[in-house]
Chains A and B, each alone.
Chain A
């Protein structure tokens, strides 16, 4: 049994369509798990169910072998960081951080020590007597994190904590969060819609769509082997084409081109996919070659380090990226090769 278990969680508002459909998720102790998905996929709802801010209609929520499904939010002892930081405007930074400890009626010296320790870890010592509105976005973010961490929560919940920061600060803060999280070994759930942010910070990622977890794996596994078309699209696979399996573990596209793969895929998988970066382009046509289709360049887009070509082929329009050593013109006939070891079938 894992440290955190969500079992068959179902949530619906006003008995309309389900926001979460029989969701299952297991998190091991000390892991940082991300919930990744587009807006409206149910990732924030899942986090709020964990926090206790939403009571699920069905299902069970267990932490450390204790069933917490019916336990109210203020008794769960989880730390939560909100997108808006939600600092108490009427309290200083120090008072904000000490808020949770004072409720626990701990000794004054203990509170003082714990608050100072966490302020040191988060680099906020010099700001401790200021008020939230005197702080920058990044500093507020750190206060919110310190306030959630100081109560030594069983779980740390982060709801898109970086989305209000500018790009540079976001990069810096996500390294910071990962550092503090692993330093304290605290089990964490991180909600985000940013793929790069999520891959860099997480031990495991749950990609969500329409209230369902489509795939739950390590970032590497999701990046390299998406299991469904939705996951593939979400993480940057842009080429999709129909394939029909043949008897000798090969596939046939609509125009009869044979595709081979170095791996075996389940019998229900009928769509080939590949990243634009993984397609190789060459000039002219190559009739009857396996794993290759020819077509005419429709659009060329400059991407900086490479060009992207939109090529119309008999199996559909495909996108391919190529460095600028050879540049093709719109109207050129090119062949796109799809390497067998890069072809994913979903």
Chain B
């Protein structure tokens, strides 16, 4: 293979552009300055202590985690059979439904959040936690249906037919043959949906209420009044969490199977 120096330099620049800000955040989280400054003057782990002792951070972190986890799980329970049905049966207006499930990823988050606010909070007056779960469930569902749907479409339909001829009912076939062969799609959609729910600001903002704050909201609230490195420390903790998650997926499935 011919070595292209120009391409190498360009690739290096792109990576630098993407990674240097993250490096700076990591470095600042260890700084002794009282505001976020780079370069740092001294080294300390205090900001990490401050993050873990900050009740508002911890509460909203666990709330975001819980909401994202339960909403993603619900989306899988509803979304996997729905995706199967869309892929295998002649559903009326199938393509229309598929595009519809893509729409939350195209419509601006603010619009989605406002629409949910109108219905979930104003019209039906859901309790806050249930409202948040419903909202995040709706954010997660498209990812499940799209990703799992495309995995099912790649699955040879005749393995299901063969399973029927061997004596499986349609439900048994779904459990014994279809599910084991779409685990990579299920994992991928779980990851995507979970991260999107966890990071989502507009829907969380619109649907939360007194005493219920999601992590992005509490982070933003904090930055508004305090510009200290505990925000950097929290970001590093979240990065670490993501890295661990990615590592587990790489070890069990291989990242290539997701993209």
Binding site for B on A (CB under 8 A): 51-53, 73-80, 82-84, 86-90, 99-100, 103-104, 144, 147-148, 151, 157
List 28 interface pairs A-B (beta carbons < 8 Å), by A numbering: A51-B165, A52-B164, A52-B165, A53-B161, A53-B164, A73-B161, A74-B165, A74-B167, A77-B167, A79-B165, A80-B162, A80-B165, A82-B158, A83-B158, A84-B156, A84-B158, A86-B156, A86-B162, A88-B163, A89-B159, A90-B180, A90-B181, A100-B167, A103-B166, A147-B162, A147-B166, A148-B165, A157-B165
CB < 8 Å neighbour of B167 from A51, A84, A103: A103
In the complex, the answer to whether A86 meets B159 with C-beta atoms within 8 Å is: yes
Binding site for A on B (CB under 8 A): 156, 158-159, 161-169, 172, 177, 180-181
List the 4 closest A-B pairs by CB distance, nearest first: A100-B166, A86-B158, A90-B180, A86-B162
In the complex, the answer to whether B156 meets A78 with C-beta atoms within 8 Å is: no
CB < 8 Å neighbour of B162 from A75, A76, A82, A90: A82
Which of B162, B163, B177, B180: most chain A CB closer than 10 A?
A: B162
In the complex, what distance in Å separates the CA atom of A90 from the CA atom of B175? 13
In the complex, what distance in Å separates the CA atom of A285 from the CA atom of B62? 101
Given A88-B177, A90-B180: A82 and B161 within 8 A (CB)?
yes
In the complex, what distance in Å separates the CA atom of A144 from the CA atom of B164? 14
Inside 8 A of A83's CB, which chain B residues have their CB?
A: 158
In the complex, the answer to whether B159 meets A73 with C-beta atoms within 8 Å is: no
Inside 8 A of A80's CB, which chain B residues have their CB?
A: 161-162, 165
In the complex, what distance in Å separates the CA atom of A90 from the CA atom of B168? 16
In the complex, what distance in Å separates the CA atom of A144 from the CA atom of B156? 14
Q: DSSP majority for the B interface?
A: helix
CB nearest neighbor in A for B161: A53
In the complex, the answer to whether A89 meets B167 with C-beta atoms within 8 Å is: no
Inside 8 A of B166's CB, which chain A residues have their CB?
A: 74, 79, 99-100, 103, 147, 151
Q: State the total of A-B contacts with C-beta under 8 angstroms.
A: 60
In the complex, what distance in Å separates the CA atom of A62 from the CA atom of B67? 56
Inside 8 A of A88's CB, which chain B residues have their CB?
A: 159, 163, 177, 181
CB nearest neighbor in B for A91: B180
In the complex, what distance in Å separates the CA atom of A163 from the CA atom of B257? 30
A152 nearest CB across to chain B (Å)? 12
CB < 8 Å neighbour of A151 from B163, B167, B181: B167
Given contacts A74-B169, A82-B161, A84-B156, 13 further A-B contacts (CB under 8 A): A53-B164, A74-B166, A76-B165, A78-B165, A79-B166, A88-B177, A90-B180, A99-B163, A99-B166, A100-B167, A147-B162, A147-B166, A148-B165
B186 nearest CB across to chain A (Å)? 13
Inside 8 A of B158's CB, which chain A residues have their CB?
A: 82-84, 86
CB nearest neighbor in A for B179: A90
CB nearest neighbor in B for A76: B165
In the complex, what distance in Å separates the CA atom of A130 from the CA atom of B165? 23
Inside 8 A of A51's CB, which chain B residues have their CB?
A: 161, 165
Inside 8 A of A147's CB, which chain B residues have their CB?
A: 162, 166
Inside 8 A of B168's CB, which chain A residues have their CB?
A: 74, 103
In the complex, what distance in Å separates the CA atom of A224 from the CA atom of B222? 92
In the complex, the answer to whether B161 meets A86 with C-beta atoms within 8 Å is: yes
CB nearest neighbor in A for B159: A86
In the complex, what distance in Å separates the CA atom of A83 from the CA atom of B157? 12
In the complex, what distance in Å separates the CA atom of A52 from the CA atom of B167? 12
In the complex, what distance in Å separates the CA atom of A157 from the CA atom of B158? 14
Inside 8 A of A99's CB, which chain B residues have their CB?
A: 163, 166
Inside 8 A of A103's CB, which chain B residues have their CB?
A: 166-168, 172
Which of B158, B167, B177, B180: most chain A CB closer than 10 A?
A: B167
In the complex, what distance in Å separates the CA atom of A157 from the CA atom of B162? 11
In the complex, what distance in Å separates the CA atom of A73 from the CA atom of B162? 10
CB nearest neighbor in B for A157: B165
